Structure 1
Amino acid sequence: MELQDRVAIVTGATSGIGEAIARRFMQEGAKVALVGHSDDQGRKVETELRRLGAGECFYVHADVSDSAQVRAAVAAVTQRWQRVDVLVNNAAVMKGVRLVDMDEADWDLTLSVNLKGPFLFAKYTLPAMPHGGAIVNISSVHAVATDVATSAYSASKGGLEALTRALALECYRMHIRVNALRVGAVDTGMLWNNPRIMSGKEKVDPRDVAQPVEIAEAALFLASQRSRFVSGAVLTIDGGRLPILGSHAP
């Protein structure tokens, strides 16, 4: 097993991509802390994943943008398992609103969850991460080629990729790898609840939509020793979505 007895924290682990990553890590023998803010959903996912018969997991409540809650979550993991080998910063929000119509509170929320959250988890996890550890940040094609009504989300993901490169340099001497996945359309609530898609203004070809487990496979690669010589990289996994966004093709 590729992650046998490795300790992982996965944020936004109670649904979608995060849940798929947690599930895949556990299948490879990992001990996974499922970070989320909906306790009912968190306990449900915890129960489901414990039935896998491989790895371990427990649910940890945390608002990823709140420093005190992040510190408490990391402390709960290190108290239970003494270290953190892998951190996956997956939690994110997206507001499909044009910039001039966006409330400041929605802008602040997007940047706080999508960019401040990874900063906080990295800050408080790194002291507990031994040599050979890995950080995987979940970015988006919107970081480099976006569409209307995604300014806050795009800014946050562009910042996350810059953070990935900078943190990889800081972690070089610590022998901790920092990479990102730049994902395209994925079959999650974030995609289908996008107001532009719900209204029909934006069309998504089902052939361009990945399943969360496909993203999880790429996350496993970056978390495992198969990618031991990869750091500061952004791996695009989008089924060709990036050129479509870049050209604004229908």
Structure 2
Amino acid sequence: MRFTDKICLVTGGTSGIGQAACLRLGAEGGQVVALGRDKADGAETVRLITKAGGKAVFMACDLAKPKAIEATVKKVLAKFQRVDVLVCDAAMMTFEPLTKLTLDQWDLLMQVNLRSLAQLTQLCLPHMPKGSAIVAISSVHAHQTTANVVPYATSKGGLEAFVRGMSLELDFRHTRINAVAPGAVDTPMLWSNPNVKSGREKIDKATVGQPEELAAAIAFMASGEASFIHGTTLAVDGGRLAQL
């Protein structure tokens, strides 16, 4: 199994793509540390992993709070001494035109979607051994977006720039960093999107991906099988970007 005895830290690990990634990493032998805000959802993630014979713990962490991130990473290191795989999946969206959006809303989204990635990378890197990997979850919105989600699209574009830039600072034989960009995936975030509900963003239900399909891509990018992949974004979107 590709992640036997590896410490796998996953943000957004309580639902959707993040939870699916936790289950996949756990099924492949990883010691999963799932981060999220909801303790009940976190307990369910742990239950699913352990029921399947894997190992997992949940740690509550609000990525909007830098001190909480710092405290959580300290707990992870105190318990496991290292981080082999860091998957940054947690994200939020807003659905207002920019002229109606408060700067506080903008700042909160950037904290959760982008600054937390930088902080987690900064805190974990000194404790990531040879062969470790960072996988940041982007979105096709970094390349093809719709109205009223400008902050989200901006954060994902910034995330991909972060990945490219950090790849120049890292020795890929020690720690690799890459992004995975989902298209439309069957998650609560997709179906709660007002643009999708109104039809402004067209979704062909026949081509909506499943969280497990994204988890497979994330696990590949985090594994030794992707040892020569560094500083890039893998689009996992059912061909959506190919239609541009």
TM-score (norm 1): 0.94
Q: Which runs of 5+ in 2 are unaligned?
A: none
Quote the Cα distance in structure 2 between the aligned partners of 1:101 and 1:242: 29
Offset at residue 16 of structure 1 (A): 0.2
Q: Does 1:230 align with 2:229?
A: yes
- The letter for the 1-side match of 2:26 is M
Counterpart residue type for residue 46 of structure 1? V
Give the direction of change, closer, same or farther, for the CA distance of 1:143–1:173 in structure 2 (3 Å limit): closer
* 1:27 match: 27
Q: CA deviation at 1:243?
A: 4.1
Matched-pair contact (CA < 8 Å) for 2:23–2:48 = no
**Residue 62 of structure 1 corresponds to which residue in structure 2?**
61
Question: Displacement of 1:80 after TM fit?
Answer: 1.6
Q: Which moved more, 1:112-121 or 1:67-76?
A: 67-76
Gapped runs of 5+ residues in structure 1? none
How far residue 202 of structure 1 moved from its aligned partner, in angstroms, is 3.0
Task: Give, in whole Å, the separation in 1 of the partners of 2:105 and 2:70.
Answer: 24
Give, as a single letter, the amino acid of the residue that structure 2 aligns with 1:208: T
- Say if 2:191 and 2:197, in contact at 8 Å, map to a contact too: yes
* Amino-acid identity (%): 41
Q: Distance in 2 between matches of 1:207 and 1:164?
A: 31
Corresponding letter in the other structure for 1:16? G
Aligned-residue offset at 1:200: 3.2
- CA shift at 1:193, angstroms? 0.2
Alignment of 1:1-250 (within 5 A): 1-54=1-54, 56-172=55-171, 175-244=174-243, 246=244
Deviation at 1:44, TM superposition (A): 2.4
Deviations, residues 170-225 of structure 1 (Å, cap 9, x unaligned): 11277210000011111001100001112333331112210000000000111110
- Distance in 1, Cα, partners of 2:172 & 2:190: 38
Q: Which stretch has the larger CA shift, 198-207 or 72-81?
A: 198-207
CA separation in 2, counterparts of 1:98 and 1:243?
27
Deviation at 1:164?
Answer: 0.4
Q: Secondary structure at the match of 1:221?
A: helix
Deviations 1:56-102 (A, max 9, x none): 11001111232211121112112222110000010000112211121
**How many positions carry a matched residue from both structures?**
244
